[in-house]
Chains A and B, each alone.
Chain A
Amino acid sequence: MYPIVKKRELNPTVTLMEVSAPFVAKKAEPGQFIILRVDEAGERIPLTVADFDREKGTVTIIFQIVGGTTERLNHLNEGDGIHDFVGPLGEPSHTEGLKKVAVIGGGVGCAIAYPVAKKLHGQGAEVHSVVGFRNKDLVILEEEFRAVSDVYKLMTDDGSKGEKGLVTDALKALIEAGNAYDEVIAIGPVVMMKFVSLLTKQYGIKTVVSMNPIMIDGTGMCGCCRLSVGGKMKFACVDGPDFDGHEVDYDEILKRASTYKEFEAREREAACNLFKKEVK
Chain B
Amino acid sequence: MSLQKHEMPSQAPDVRNKNFYEVTLGYTAETAIDEAKRCLNCKNKPCMGGCPVRIHIPEFIAKVAEGEFEEAYHIIQQTSSLPAVCGRVCPQETQCEQKCVRGIKGEPVAIGRLERFVADWHNANSCDLPVKAEPNGHKVAVVGSGPAGLTCAGDLAKRGYEVTVFEALHLAGGVLVYGIPEFRLPKLIVQKEIDNLIALGVKVETNMVIGRVLSIDELMGEYGFEAVFIGSGAGLPRFMNIPGENLKSVFSANEFLTRVNLMKAYKENSRTPVFHAQKVAVVGGGNVAMDAARCAKRLGAEEVSIVYRRSEAELPARAEEVEHAKEEGIVFRFLTNPTAILEGENGLVSGMTCIRMELGEPDASGRRRPVEVPGSEFTIDCDAVIMALGTSPNPLIKNTTKGLDTQRWGGIIADERGQTSRPGVFAGGDAVTGAATVILAMGAGKTAAESIDAYIRSKHQ
| Chain A residues proximal to chain B, CB less than 8 Å | 23-24, 26-27, 37, 41-44, 68-69, 83-89, 216-217, 219-224, 226-228, 233, 238, 252, 255-256, 258-260, 263-264, 267
Please count how many residues in chain B sit with their CB below 8 Å of the partner chain's CB atoms. Answer: 39
The answer to whether B394 and A219 touch across the interface, beta carbons within 8 angstroms, is yes
With a 10 A CB-CB cut-off, give which of A68, A87, A224, A256 has the most chain B CB atoms.
A224
Q: Would you give 14 A-B contacts (Cβ < 8 Å), ordered by A?
A: A23-B208, A27-B214, A41-B269, A41-B271, A86-B207, A219-B209, A220-B395, A221-B391, A226-B246, A227-B246, A233-B239, A258-B248, A260-B273, A264-B273
Docked complex Cα distance between A220 and B237 (Å): 8
Chain B residues in the interface with A (C-beta under 8 A):
168-170, 206-209, 212-214, 235-237, 239, 241, 245-249, 251-252, 254-255, 258-259, 263, 269-273, 275, 346-347, 391, 394-396
The answer to whether A221 and B394 have CB atoms under 8 Å apart is yes
Bound Cα distance A223, B214 (Å): 23
**Out of B206, B212, B391, which one reaches A89, CB within 8 Å?**
B212
For A41, what are the chain B residues with a Cβ–Cβ distance below 8 Å? 269-271
Across the interface, do A222 and B273 meet the contact criterion of CB distance under 8 Å?
A: no
Complex Cα distance, B213 from A87, in Å, reads: 6
Q: Do A252 and B273 have beta carbons less than 8 Å apart?
A: no
CB distance B248 to A256 under 8 Å? Answer: yes
Task: Contacts A87-B213, A233-B241 known; list 11 others, CB within 8 Å.
Answer: A26-B213, A41-B269, A41-B270, A84-B170, A84-B207, A216-B272, A217-B168, A217-B258, A219-B394, A221-B236, A221-B237
Name the B residues within 8 Å of A227 (CB-CB).
246
| Chain A residues closer than 8 Å to B275, beta-carbon distance | 259-260
Taking a contact as CB atoms closer than 8 A, the residue among A26, A219, A222 that contacts B168 in the complex is A219
- The docked-state distance in angstroms from the alpha carbon of A42 to that of B264 is 10
What residues on B are CB-neighbors of A222 within 8 Å? 237, 252, 254-255, 258
| Residues of A with C-beta under 8 A to B239 | 223, 226, 233
Residue A256 contacts which of B169, B209, B271, B347 (CB distance < 8 angstroms)? B347
Q: Cβ of A255 and Cβ of B255 under 8 Å apart?
A: no
Report the separation of the CA atoms of residues A255 and B395 in the bound assembly, to the nearest whole angstrom: 29
In angstroms, Cα B241 to Cα A252, docked, is 16
Task: Determine whether the beta carbon of A44 is less than 8 Å from that of B255.
Answer: no
- Give bound CA distance, A26 to B223, whole Å: 14
Q: Which of B246, B249, B251, B394 contacts A252 (CB 8 A)?
A: B246
* Docked-complex contact B258 and A220, CB < 8 angstroms: no
A258-B271 in contact given A220-B394, A228-B246 (Cβ < 8 Å): no
Q: With contacts A41-B270, A219-B396, A223-B254 known, is A233 near B246, CB below 8 A? A: yes
Is there contact, CB below 8 Å, between A216 and B346?
no
Residues of A within 8 A of B214 (CB): 23, 27
Q: Assess the A221–B235 pair: CB atoms within 8 A.
A: yes
Nearest-Cβ distance from residue A122 to partner chain B, whole angstroms: 23
Interchain CB contact (< 8 A) of A44 among B241, B263, B346: B263
Q: Quick check: A42 and B396 within 8 Å, CB to CB?
A: no
When distances are taken between beta carbons in the complex, the residues of chain B under 8 Å from A69 are 271
Closest to A23 in B: B213
Can you name the residue of chain A whose Cβ is closest to the Cβ of B343? A255
B interface secondary structure, majority: loop
When C-beta atoms are compared, the residue in chain B nearest to A251 turns out to be B347
The residues of B that contact A264 with a CB separation of less than 8 Å are 273
Chain A residue numbers with a CB within 8 Å of B209 are 86-87, 89, 219
Q: Which residues on the B side are within 8 Å of A216 (C-beta)? A: 255, 258-259, 263, 272
Known interface pairs A69-B271, A87-B209, A89-B212; A220-B235 also in contact (CB < 8 Å): yes
Name the A residues within 8 Å of B255 (CB-CB).
Answer: 216, 222-224
Are the C-beta atoms of B248 and A259 separated by less than 8 Å? yes
Nearest Cβ on chain B to A240's Cβ, whole angstroms: 14
Q: Bound complex: CA of A216 vs CA of B255, how far in Å?
A: 8
Q: How far is the CB of B299 from chain A (nearest CB, A)?
A: 13
Indicate if the CB atoms of A221 and B258 lie closer than 8 Å: yes
Q: Which of A217, A233, A258, A260 contacts B169 (CB 8 A)?
A: A217
Residues of B within 8 A of A221 (CB): 235-237, 254, 258, 391, 394
| CA of A222 to CA of B255, assembled, Å | 4
Decide: A86 and B170 in contact? CB cutoff 8 A. Answer: yes
Select one of A84, A220, A238, A255 contacting B248, CB under 8 A. Answer: A255
Which chain B positions have C-beta within 8 A of A263? 273
With both chains docked as a complex, state the minimum distance between the C-beta of B59 and any C-beta of chain A, in angstroms: 39
Measured in the bound complex, the distance between the Cα atoms of B48 and A251 in whole Å is 57
Instruction: Tell me the complex Cα distance, A41–B263, Å.
Output: 8
Across the interface, which residues of A come within 8 angstroms of B347, CB to CB? 252, 255-256, 258
Instruction: Please give me the residue from chain B that is nearest to A257 by CB atom.
Output: B248
The 8 closest A-B pairs by CB, nearest first: A255-B347, A221-B235, A222-B255, A263-B273, A86-B207, A260-B273, A43-B272, A84-B170
A43-B263, A221-B254 as given contacts; A233 in contact with B245, CB under 8 Å:
yes
Min CB–CB distance A81 → chain B (angstroms): 13
Q: A252 to B347, alpha carbons, bound, how many Å?
A: 8
Q: Check A27 against B237 for contact (C-beta < 8 Å).
A: no
B296 to chain A, nearest CB (A): 16
Q: Specify the chain A residue showing the minimal Cβ separation from B391.
A: A221
Q: B214 CB to closest chain A CB, in angstroms? A: 7
Kindly state the separation between the CA atoms of A88 and B214 in the bound complex, as whole angstroms: 10
When chains A and B are docked, how far (Å) is the Cα of A223 from the Cα of B273?
16
Using A222-B252, A233-B241 as known contacts, say yes or no to A86 and B168 having CB atoms under 8 A apart. Answer: yes
Q: Which residues of A sit under 8 angstroms from B170, Cβ to Cβ?
A: 37, 44, 83-84, 86
Asked if A223 and B252 make an inter-chain contact with CB atoms under 8 angstroms apart, the answer reads yes
**B213 to A24, Cβ gap below 8 A?**
yes
B273 partner residues in chain A, CB cutoff 8 A? 43, 260, 263-264, 267
Contact among A68, A87, A259 with B271 in the assembled complex (CB-CB below 8 Å) = A68
Contact partners of B236 in chain A: CB under 8 A? 220-221
A256 to B348, CA, bound (A): 9
Chain A CB within 10 A, most for which of B169, B251, B252: B169
Cα A86 to Cα B237 with chains together (Å): 21
Contact A27 B258 (CB under 8 A): no
In the complex, A264→B170 CA distance in Å?
Answer: 22
**How distant is B265 from chain A, measured CB to nearest CB, in Å?**
9
Given the complex, which residues of A lie within 8 Å of B269, measured CB to CB?
41
Chain B residues whose CB sits within 8 angstroms of the CB of A238 once the complex forms: 394-396
Write the nearest CB–CB distance from A227 to chain B, whole angstroms.
7
**Does B271 contact A42, Cβ atoms closer than 8 Å?**
yes
A2 vs chain B, min Cβ distance (A): 9
